[in-house]
Structures are given as C-alpha cells and as structure tokens.
Chain A
Amino acid sequence: MDFTLNDEQLMFAETARSLFADSSTPDHWRRMMEAGEAIDPARWASIVETGLTLVLLPENAGGIGLAESDFALIAQEAGYVVLPEPLVESAGVAAPTLAALAPDHPLLADPAATIAIAHPANPYVANADSAAAILLHQEGEAFLATPDQVTLTAQPSIDPFRRLFTVEWSPQNATALGKADWDLAFDRASLFNAAFGLGLAQRAVDLAVDYAKERQQFGKPIGSYQAVKHHLASAQVTIEFAKPVVAAAAAEIGTRDVQARARVSHAKIVALEAADKAARASIQVHGAMGYSWEVDVHLFLKRALALTQSWGTPAYHRARIATRIFTQPMGPDQTFAREADNA
C-alpha cells in the first residue's frame, strides 16, 4: 500500500504545469474569445511537441503507453488553465479508443491530429468541426468519419471555448471499425473530466485569494475578513477531499469492476462539485468584478457547468455508486476491495 505519486509523475505534472502557465494566460484566452477561436495553433503545437498527446496512447500505436494516473495529472493541470483545446477528449479518450480498434490507423501517426468522439452518453459532440476525424457510435460498433463526411449543426455552448455540435451521419459515408469499448471510453472521460475539475476548482480559489489580498474595503484587504476567508476555506476543504478520490479512481480504473466504476463516478461528482463551489465562491469574493466578462472567473464556472452535465449527469453517476453500495460488501475493510475478491 503506497498512496503517493512517484517522482516521475510529479515531474510530468510539473512539465505540463509550466507549459500551460506560459502558453495559456488570460491574455491568450481574451484574444481567442475575441476571435471566436477554440484552438490556438501555437499552443497546440507546443502541447504536441511536449508529447502530451502521446501519454495514454499505447506503444503499439506509437504512443508512450503510460497509465490513466499519469494522464489525470495532465488533465488536472489543463483544468488549472481552463485549457480550450480538446486535449482531454482527444488524447485521453478518443485516440486510445481508436488505437484499441486500429493501432495502425494513419491518424494515430500524426500526434497533432485531434479526434472528436460522439459517445452515446452525450447528445452534443465537442470540437467536431476542428477534428481530423470523428469517432461515431452505432449499436456498440465504432465508425470513423471526417467532418466533411457528416452534417454538423452547431449548438453554441455558454462556455466560449466549447464548440458543440449535433452530428448527422450515415454508415455509408464512414469507415466501420468494429465493436469498440465504449464503457472504457466513458470511464476515462469521466475520470479525466474529474481531474480537469480539480484544476478548475483550485484556480478559482487561487484567483479569489489573489484578489482578496489586493482589494481593500473599510481600510483593509477584504481577505482579512472572516466571511471572505470562510467562503474560500470551505471551497478548499471540498477540493482536498475530492483529490484522493480522483487519485484512487485513476489508479483503479483498469480493474473495471463495480468498485472501480463507483470510484470514477464518485470522482466525477465531487471534483465537479468542488469546481462549482469554488467558482461560485470566487465570483462572490470578486464582487461585481466577479460578475463581469472582464474577470476570468466565469470561464471556470462555465466549464464546470458544462463538464458536470456531460459524460453522465450527477444522477447517472450517483446510480453507479448506489449499485456498488447495494451489491457489494460495505465497511471499513472494503476501501480497496475488488469485486473478484468478494465473488
């Protein structure tokens, strides 16, 4: 039993953190929003160059073949900068799904290509227009099509960096790939969106802390007032207790049993609750500034909102936890229990 990250993982997270910190600044977000862009080519190029799109891809598909625990750290750092580019869905979910079906697919040979995924869990497909290809679902089978082989209808999202579409397509215009593991794709997406949520949450708190140290009212910084402190402390408590759940879910996802699915669901629920709570606390602490387009907190709120309802609603995920509770033994010796051991 060792519930700590190893040095390699910490180094990895650090690399991602500094890359994002340099390239994903508020100035960048503003410029992209004004231009109506969801992808910054220069930033995407540096992400690709650093190898972040290859982390979870298996070695037989030209990837680095690391595990979900490693990619979750990157997703968390991506959340900290509310990364506009579809790194999580493309490199964390769609590409490994494609690789499991066709490890030699030419798309996988291009680490810069993004792949969108039309998973049955979601009515709207994110970033389908800019994707090199879209992974499509029909009765458990997977198909691949380019955006011009399908009909995309834009469904604008409140999140300026999320471009959503409904997709109409026919199997004649797509390449059949066979039965895909949609469940694993779903669990990965849920997990990485949870990790992303942790990043969103921490940044929302950090932005508010910075503001609360500067902004003065009644002759002192608002951060010295207890009501302000307590908003942020409460948000931080929620974050601290979502972190180990995300870490455990990432470590266990490969087990693919009732307990592992419940952990992933638990992670998705609490990490995005933390993001929502932190974003709302942050808006409150910023006062009217927090309600303005000018201050960036709304980006964190909006992404939290979007991710909360996609890849399984909280009710859906709660039901998976209920299944774990009511079909498996509970109790203090069951924290790390596996379905196979209890069979």
Chain B
Amino acid sequence: MDLTYTPEQQAFRAEVRAWLEAHVPSAPLEHFDATREGFEAHRQWEKTLKSGDWGMVTWPREYGGRGLDLIQWLIFEEEYYRAGAPGRVNQNGIFLLGPTLIEFGTHEQKQRFLPKMASGEEIWAQAWSEPQAGSDLAGVRATATRDGDDYILNGHKIWSSRAVFADWAFGLFREPGSERHKGMSLIFFPLDAPGVTVNAIKKINGHVGFAEIFLENVRVPAFNRLGDEGQGWHICMATAGFERGLMLRSPARYQVAAKKLAALWQAHKETADPALEADVVRAHMNADAYALNIYQTASRLMAGAKIGPEASTNKIFWSELDIHLTQTALSILGPQAELTHEAPDASPVDWIDDYIFALAGPIYAGSNEIQRNIIAERMLGLPR
C-alpha cells in the first residue's frame, strides 16, 4: 500500500491543472438540459476539451483517448471538479457506452464511434427504459427485426436523458417473439433517423432533461449492433456496472460539494443551529470515504481484479450522501433555502437545484431498492 502520488502522477496533475486554468470558461454555461443553447455551449466545451486531448483520458489513443490508467483518471476528475469545469453533456456516451464499446465492440465500431464521442461531435442518449419496463428491464418490448444487413426498430422508449438535443441513442431491443433476458440486442440509432419521434418530458425542476422516443420502422445497419445478436442483456449489465460502480459519479464531485458546504457553514454558523456542524462533518466524511473506496477499487482493477456486484454498494452510497449533503445545506440556509437562483437573495451556490437533482439519485441507474436486492442476492448469497 502506498497512499502517495508518484512524481509522474503529480506532474500529470500539474499538467491538467494548468490546461484547465487556461481553458475553463470564466462564466458558467447555461445548463445543458435547460435549452438548446445551453446544450450546444456544452458541446463546444467538449470540442475544446478534445483539442487538448482530454475528451476521454482512459481510452486508447487510436480511439480518441489518451491511454491513461484509472488513477490518472481520478486525478483528472479531481482537477476537473476543482476547476469548476462544465458538466459533461456526453456522459452517457463517454462514461457508459464508451467503456462497453471498448470491451465488446469490433475494431471498426470503435473507430467509427469512439473518436466522435470523445470530441463531442456525436452526443449520446441512453434508451433503455420503456413505459412498461423500468426496474424490470428484461420486460422491454421494443423490437429489432432483422432484414438482410439491417434491423427495423419499433417501440416506445422513455426517460431518456438529454435525448431531446442528442444525436444518437443506444437502446435495448428484442427479436420479435423472444422473452425476458433472451433475444435482446444492444443497438445504436441516430435520433434524427426517419421514423424516430422524440418528445420532451419536463423534469420536476422544469428542465426538458428527458424524453420519450417513438420508433416506427426505423432502419439501421446491423453494424450498429454491439456484441452478438441476443447478447444484449449481458452487455447491458456490463454497462450498468460502469454506471453504478465507477465512471458515472467520480468522487471529486462530492468533495467539491463538501468543501462548499463547509464554507457555507462557516458563513452561517453564528445564526444556524449548532447541531448542524455534525452534519457538515458527516458530509466531509462521506465524500472522503467515497473517494477512498474508489481509489481502492481503481487500484484493485489495475491489479487485475474485475468489478463485481459491490458496484451496487457505490450507487447506494453516493446517492444517499448526495441527499444528506444537499439537505444539510438547505438546513443551514434556513428560509433562504427555497429561493431559486434568480432571487436577489439567492445563495451563490444553487443548493436547492442540487438537492432536487440529488432526489433522482436513488431512482436512476437502477433504483436503490433494486441495488439492495443485488447486494443481498449476489454479494450476500440470500435466496431469490
């Protein structure tokens, strides 16, 4: 065990820091879920990142990455959040689909899709959920019918984050007549293809953050299928592992939030309930524990281990710590807590928005109830 950074890792941190200091936009961008302009401003930022070769640091160079290891990825993420750089509009692509493509895709597929993902040229949505298949994803009804070298897609997807503005989606489709986990394939489709209709759905904060997607005889080449025909469920679970386990929520996000919370407490402690200091300390502890856990996981993966069902423990931990942290901020703010960022008296950090977003954490990426089932059955070995 060696909990110090090597000189190379420190030099890498300095390099990332210097680049970000020179390039992070001075004014925050409009949220990518709020308007088309906000979305496009973020796409522009992705292109800027790519110009410095920071699009997706862990991918191989030939696919638009930098070929770095997981500890370097963590350092990159730490500097990224420290610099207050814009949120990654292409997170479904780079963090979820990307690693899955690297594991299961052919060389041609990687060449076709990864560099454009890393550069923000193509921004991705995840089209798994359906109105009748949420937690029970094996119940998806959307179909992919083979027609020569093509598939014809039909069905109805929902809750697809950022699909309103995105370019591509990856979805789970089944061979007509197949049931449950069998006969599923993971297939990519352009969101502007003939037969695709995307309707925005407003989230509880009023943003058009997700959408429903109707597919009517949408034709895509079989090249767009990731992995073998019928292997979709298996691949999907690997993606879910990335989503819950590592990539979706890097610890730096919560460490920055815990730091802001400590500053908020310092500013309000003369008037706020003194008991809240324990919650401020707890928020730091949780963010720290999450960071340590991820460093440990990254070290284990680099030593050859594979991510297992313990990924589900991460998802529960970060979603719960996020709610606790943002709720503590609201308690410190008192009556100011309910003000939106437009209010003249609003706090400079939009805690209420962060809190509202945190509430989605236990639902998306597989609800926490489902994660607890996975932990109980696959980690602890309890009967189904």
B-binding residues in A (CB < 8 A): 1-6, 69, 205, 209, 212-213, 220-221, 223-224, 226, 228-230, 232-234, 236-237, 240-245, 247-248, 251-252, 266, 269-270, 318, 321-322, 325-326, 330-336
Contacts and interface: CB of A to CB of B under 8 A. Distances in A.
The 4 closest A-B pairs by CB, nearest first: A229-B376, A332-B252, A332-B78, A244-B292
Nearest to B315: A237
B112 interface: no
Interface string B246-287: 000001100110110010001000000000011011001110
A240 B318 CA distance: 12
Q: Which of A224, A241, A336 has the most CB of B within 10 A?
A: A241
A241 B293 contact: yes
A309 B78 CA distance: 36
A266 B259 contact: no
Nearest to B375: A233
A3 B289 contact: no
7 contacts: A5-B1, A232-B376, A234-B372, A330-B284, A332-B255, A333-B13, A335-B291
B103 interface: no
B379 interface: yes
A251 B262 CA distance: 26
A230 B303 CA distance: 31
Interface in B356-384: 369, 371-373, 375-377, 379-384
Interface stretch (B4-12, B172-180, B201-209): B4-12
A270 B81 CA distance: 26
Nearest to A248: B292
Given A213-B383, A331-B255, A336 B293 contact: no
A273 to B, nearest CB: 10
Contacts of A220: 383
Given A237-B316, A332-B78, A4 B293 contact: no
Contacts of A247: 1, 292, 296
Nearest to B285: A266
A242 to B, nearest CB: 7
A212 B300 CA distance: 31
Contacts of B122: none
A204 to B, nearest CB: 12
Given A3-B299, A325-B262, A270 B380 contact: no
Contact of B5 (A226, A243, A336): A336
Contact of A266 (B289, B295, B380): B289
A4 B13 contact: no
Interface of B: 1-6, 9, 13, 71, 77-79, 81-82, 251-252, 255-256, 258-259, 262, 266, 277-278, 280-281, 284-286, 288-293, 295-296, 298-300, 303, 310, 313, 316-317, 369, 371-373, 375-377, 379-384
A330 B259 contact: yes
A330 B71 CA distance: 20
Contact of B293 (A240, A330, A332): A240
B303 A4 contact: yes
B1 A69 contact: yes
A236 B379 contact: yes
Contact of A242 (B5, B78, B289): B289
A229 B377 contact: yes
A322 B277 contact: yes
A224 B1 contact: no
A321 B313 contact: no
B45 to A, nearest CB: 19
Given A223-B382, A330-B284, A241 B289 contact: yes
Given A1-B4, A241-B313, A332-B252, A269 B285 contact: yes
A241 B4 contact: no
A68 to B, nearest CB: 11
B296 A1 contact: no
Contact of B299 (A1, A242, A322, A333): A1
A34 to B, nearest CB: 32
A266 B291 CA distance: 14
Nearest to B79: A333
A15 B178 CA distance: 51
Contact of B77 (A4, A237, A332, A336): A332
A3 B262 contact: no
A272 to B, nearest CB: 13
